[in-house]
Amino acid sequence: MVKFSVRQVEPSPMAPSARALLAGLAALVLLPTAASAAERTMPVRVTLLGQDAGVATLALETTSDTAATATLRAPGVLFGGGKLYRVSTCVEQHAQRALPLSSCTTADVDVRGLTGRVARDAPAVTSAVRRPKAGVAMAVTGVVTINQRMVDGAWKEVATTWTAGRAGASLAVPPSGATSGVLPTLPDGATLSTGAVGGMNTGAPGSICGQNLRGTTMTRPAGLDTKALGAAAYPYEVGEPTTGAAPRGVALVLHGGGWATNGIGALETERPTADAWRARGFRTVNATYRACAGSLIDALDAFDRIHRAWPDLAVCVDGASAGGHLALSVAANRPVACAVSRGGPADAEALAGQDAAPGPGGSKTDGPRSLQNFMAAAFGNENLDLASPVRGTTGARVLMGVAESDWLVPWAQAEELRDAWGAEVVRLAAGDRPWVHGNVSADALADWERRVDALAAGV
């Protein structure tokens, strides 16, 4: 994994591939708006029937040498009456070997009180685009996905515009000084036995990463500080040790959610983990992050803020699922003392060729493949090597756990980290206690906590 830099704590040389990837960070700030160049139409295909329920149009407009606007609309889509639908519309902008940036919106279409076929507009999305430099291939890609609420409460995809792969859903962005551009070579992703494709946050090949904001569900506990690290692009909570002693270090805690879920509600899921670190004598920073590519940027930024605020304290990073991947990524890019990954992938490139525990439908391969597609959606399919922390190095003490019943993260991921980093790895036996991506036994859970305690005690 090539070193990332947000605010570099210790200056170090950066490889050209890292500079290329970090060029995508510019897309995460406010961009200029833009006027007209090209259009692509895509059928809204009803998956089971093979029929079209409407047409979506992706338009790219340019008004200056540096700016453009991409808009995706699907007016007058036909919905079968008597049902509740959820429609997601996404536009992704992606230059080769750079971080993708997506703009997505979701709306419910409730036609349960109607009969026959009912025409409704899908929510439109407009995304400001910064045109690339000469010689850089860049595309805007659009997808509309329609899910239907089933009797059991689950959502099932029933229609999509993703019918001709990435190239059929994309327009080339002309570089500055040019009137036309070329599409970058961006693979769709790892195929699944279900045949699913496209959509927002689906884990299918060609899917796009879009924010899944979770609102707060409880009152914030007393004693947590939300301002100690200054104004950040993401919410966080700082807590003091409950041992009554001065902090022995700082623990940065990162939640999961497919790199797309964020917000106070997501942060709340890791409050018990932060409580445990405070009981070990650590000050804690329980942080959420912006979605998709912003997740890694914000995890690094959180470390940098901690290091500036308390430079004399060692920092440990602990994360679950996507947060476990981010914890390992911080360890590969910053001078952390220890890192804990609870069911977080370490090698994005290898996932599609590895088996995990049987998942829905009994497949051992669909879980790792869908996980790779989630990572491709967040960081770019061509950037999976750069989004694989195991390909970097670290001076941290590292602990990684994978549930025996984990159907997303293969045990081989832990073995790779052990061989590359000398990490302590644990396979938690199956049982009835909820953990990450599966249930584990009470003994396995107790053993895991003892191992984290020992890791913290060594800081």
DSSP 60-113: EEE-SSSEEEEEEE-TTEEEESS-EEEEEEEEEEEETTS--EEEEEEEEEE-TT
Q: What Å distances lie between residue 32 and 24, 69, 88, 128, CA to CA?
A: 15, 9, 25, 6
Indicate the domain borders of the chain. 33-172, 212-457
Tokens of 438: 């599966």
Question: In 3D, which of 296, 270, 277 has the Cα closest to residue 452?
Answer: 277
- One digit per residue, the tens of pLDDT, for the chain of length 459 reads 545 444 333 333 333 334 444 344 333 333 333 344 699 999 999 988 889 999 999 999 998 999 999 999 999 999 999 999 999 999 999 999 999 999 999 999 999 999 999 999 999 999 999 999 999 999 999 999 999 999 999 999 999 999 888 999 999 999 999 999 999 988 889 999 999 999 999 999 999 999 999 999 899 999 999 999 999 999 999 999 999 999 999 999 999 999 999 999 999 999 999 999 999 999 999 999 999 999 999 999 999 999 999 999 999 999 999 999 999 999 999 999 999 999 999 999 999 999 999 999 999 999 999 999 999 999 999 999 999 999 999 999 999 999 999 999 999 999 999 999 999 999 999 999 999 999 999 999 999 999 999 999 999
**pLDDT value at position 56?**
98
The DSSP bridge partners found for residue 318 are 253, 340
The phi and psi torsions of 447 (rounded to 5 degrees) equal -65, -40
Which of the four CATH numbers 1.20.1260.10, 3.30.2400.10, 3.60.20.10, 3.40.50.1820 does domain 212-457 have?
A: 3.40.50.1820
**pLDDT value at position 187?**
85
Q: Residues of 438-459 as b/e, b for ≥16 C-beta within 10 angstroms?
A: bbbbeebbeebeeebeebbeeb
Fold for 33-172, please state it. Immunoglobulin-like (2.60.40)
Q: Tell me the three state secondary structure of residue 305.
A: helix
Task: Tell me the helix, strand and coil percentages in the chain, rounded to 5.
Answer: 25, 30, 45
Q: What pTM, to 2 d.p., does this model score?
A: 0.90
Domains 33-172 and 212-457 share a fold: no
